[in-house]
Structure 1
Amino acid sequence: MFRTTPMRRAIVGLTAAFAMTISLTACGEESDTPGTGSGATVPSASADTSLAEKVPAEIKAAGKLTIGTDSTYAPSEYLDADGKTIIGFDVDLFNAVAQKLGLTTEWQSAKFDAIIPGVTSGKYNVGVSSFTVNADRLKEATMVSYFSAGTQWAAKAGATINPDDACGKKVAVQVGTVQVDDITARSKKCTDAGKPKITIDQYQAQSDATNAVVSGKDDAMLADSPVCAYAVKQTNGQLALAGDIYDSAPYGYVLPKAQADFGAALEGALEALIADGTYKTILSKWGVEAGAVTDPAVNPQVS
């Protein structure tokens, strides 16, 4: 997903868990310790005084960062079994970044397409929600890259789906993601060639898109690669990955446009976590180490 966006949900029974996700709208609890969704415990990160000095005065005075996230995108960010605590690899990693800056975190659930406006309006200090860095977003905000993901497709196990020729298929995608542009362009290519269009079903939550394929309402879905792979695993063999990962691009933390200096502090914190091994530990805990980067950057150049 990836997101213009990206996916989400640990399940007990797939349908029941998706239903729980849809019904819960609570904000996440304040979190100053890493999430505990799966795997090894993440070590606490010690504060770095030189990095903490780059934190804006009003945030330093508050002592915490308020973070907007779309908590429907496992394993990036999603609700734990209690229905209110937000966990995921994005959560663990950014909690560690905040600790490096001497800050705690307060995670708040939001619709994906409302997060960047929330950052620019001051509702959130940071947006952390598997945002793909792209030119349009860089016009609105400062972004700090921290991970790399591509787009992946999935369909019913045993189904024959070719992402490069999905004409006439019904395809699920999350609202506001880069995948919407992707599938729209593919559908136009179909109709330009005189073939049936792709029926594009857009869902507010990636979990809803996944469930649509599981139930047979849609033939396939596409999302950010780590999200899609995680979703497939959670279906216990009902879905399978289709095609290769493509269009890899960085995820980025979202800050107000004028806060490039604060972005440099986040970049420095990430570099420190990479150097001391905490970054690798967190990604390995969630099984997403394939997306690791070695060179986080403020407003990285993208095509």
Structure 2
Amino acid sequence: MNFKRRMTMIAAAVMVAGLAAGCGSSSGEDNATSIPTVETNATLNEKLPQAIRDVGKLNVATDATYPPMQFFDTDGKTMIGFEIDMGNALGDLLGVKMDWTNLSAASIPPGLEGGRFDLALTSAQDLPERREVMTFVDYFKVGSSLLIEAGNPKDVADLKSMCGRPLGVQAGTAQLMYLEDHTSDCPEGQAIQIRTFPTNDAAVTSLRAGQVDAVFSQDNANAHIVKQTSGQFEMLSDSYEPTPVGIVLKKGSPLTGVLHEAMSELVTTDTYSKIVEKWGLGNNVVDTVTINNGEA
């Protein structure tokens, strides 16, 4: 994929990761793990820009369609998930309210660029190409994997086995970028038949209907679908291109340093481990918070 096309994709829907809302959901993964109360750190609060301290809040963008990271509870109104809990803990530590806005992924990059939002928490994978326009404070990691029908009736072994076959993927995702970058891995004339969908939920629906042979999405999304659909699906063990996930900021944001400090404090306390435990994401933790995967 050429640079111009990639940057267009980034601007259009850089932070989409996928969703599985139509595949069932649960509050806290049916886990009663208690999250410790987070006290405000006055020193960190003082490092926030004065304008934010004056209003007492951070405007946070998210695409609440991606359990277990962020999604709506059964009431259809309350946002829950790993990143919602982490974001709210971050706000408590900084002494500000996190004012969440749910909107389409394509609206998030211009919202950050135009100053409508201070940050985004939307399971965004930190890729070098994305750093052309954004900064990431990384505190999590994910890989990509294949979701298939239970029992593997289409005999899917790995991505290579998908050459010449239909594969579902959400538009605008890191997973789609990965597939387009690896089209040459298949024999000539047998490229993967990439079928893009507006949401990962739609891709999974297509898999259920037999229209695609597998869905390529984040590991944590696929694991959630397997757990919530009572044996309809399974995921293959191969994980592709593990990458960090981070808070997303406009490039050059004055919040970068203080959010790095604050998230670093949370990661070294029980808060991080308890939220991870609550959402069953122990395989995705990091020991150290970095900026742009440690390259900044």
TM over 0.5: yes
Match of 2:173 in 1: 177
Measured after TM superposition, the shift of residue 258 of structure 1 is 2.1
- Report what 2:286 is aligned to: 293
Q: How many angstroms apart in 2 are the aligned matches of 1:43 and 1:119? A: 30
SS in 2 for 1:122: coil
Contact in 1 for aligned 2:267/2:288 (Cα 8 Å): no
Aligned to 2:92: 99
TM-score by length of 1: 0.85
- Gap change, CA 1:248 and 1:210, over 3 Å in 2: same
Deviation at 1:275, TM superposition (A): 2.4
Show the 5 A alignment for 1:1-303. 5-9=16-20, 14=23, 38-39=30-31, 40-159=33-152, 160-161=155-156, 162-190=158-186, 193-259=187-253, 261-301=254-294
* SS of match in other structure, 2:181: helix
Distance in 1 (CA, whole Å) between partners of 2:106 and 2:161 is 29
Residue correspondences, number: 277
Give distance in 2, aligned partners of 1:243 and 1:276.
Answer: 30
Instruction: Indicate if the aligned counterparts of 2:17 and 2:170 stay in contact, CA closer than 8 A.
Output: yes
User: Hey, what's the Cα distance between the residues in 2 that align with 1:36 and 1:153?
Assistant: 24
Could you tell me which runs of 5 or more consecutive residues in structure 2 were left unpaired when the two chains were aligned: 1-13
Q: What letter corresponds to residue 78 of structure 1 in structure 2?
A: F
Deviations 1:113-169 (A, max 9, x none): 321221111121111101111112212122100101111111111221121221121
Contact map agreement 2:68 2:279 (CA 8 A) in 1: yes
Contact 2:163 2:191 (8 Å CA) reproduced? yes
> What is the root-mean-square deviation in Å for CA atoms of aligned residues?
2.0
In the alignment, the residues of structure 2 paired with residue 99 and residue 246 of structure 1 have an alpha-carbon distance, to the nearest angstrom, of 35
What is the CA–CA distance in structure 2 between the aligned matches of 1:45 and 1:72, rounded to whole Å?
26
The percentage of aligned residue pairs carrying the same residue is: 29
* C-alpha displacement of 1:10: 5.3
Residue 66 of structure 1: how far off its partner (Å): 1.5
For normalisation by structure 2, the TM-score amounts to 0.87
> Could you list the runs of 5+ residues in structure 1 that have no partner in the other structure?
19-34
